Structure 1
Amino acid sequence: AQVEAMRRFGRLLGMSFQIADDVLDYLATEEEVGKPVGNDLKQGTVTLPLMLARHDPGVDGRLEAILEKATLQDADYAEVVRIVRDSRGIDESYGYAKTFGDKARAELQAFPPSPFRDAFEALTYYVVGRRN
């Protein structure tokens, strides 16, 4: 039972981490994350913040107008980043990251209290709140 709980913990923590990392691609500075802001977008990777922003009524087709272009310029990428930052896609993505972190933490209840369990619990908070 503990092996399965740890497997689920790892999967859920990984989901939380990946979503938080995807949000950082839109919010953090290049100095904070060590890669250009919007790097995933420039590589053609569609992540959760962009997907959720596209469904924000306030965005009103502005993302599609840019993303449907045959070739995107730096100004286009910057505008997409700005639109995503201003959309509810960021907050909703953080909500998903937090939910996965909460579920991961719940899996740790299969283990008795210990400094190791405490460290894993702390990790679930860290991945959502990190800035690099």
Structure 2
Amino acid sequence: MSKDDDNAPGNEYEHGSVLARSDVVVVGAGLGGLVATRLLQRSGLSVTLLDPQPPGGRGRTDERAGFLFNRGPHALYLGGHAARVLAGVGVRPQGGPPSVDGHGLIGDRMGALPSGAGSLLR
């Protein structure tokens, strides 16, 4: 950013602001942004994390009318690479093994849902 850019109308970047004093600005407080911020801080850099939404991105569960809804199309379980990365930055996911028994309602009939590619061959 040039000095002329700093003085452009509508420019909110100011010398001495938190952004100007940060080594790195991370945009997005989803899982990737939170982990990146923590790792950058551990390496000694000053980091500003920006997101207008609550932290967690799609890795959150919302409650509506007494029901819990996972926001993302994925789930974090207690094992695997993601769990090790999260533990390394101090995040302790709570959860359990995935449910493999599912049922769906098609019309007025209840039927078992496939629990993986192997179950389709039975």
Q: TM-score, normalised by structure 2?
A: 0.22
* Higher relative contact order, structure no. (Cα contacts within 8 Å, ≥ 6 residues apart): 1
Q: Could you say which structure has the larger radius of gyration?
A: 2
TM-score calculated relative to the size of structure 1:
0.20
Q: Which of the pair is proportionally richer in helix?
A: 1
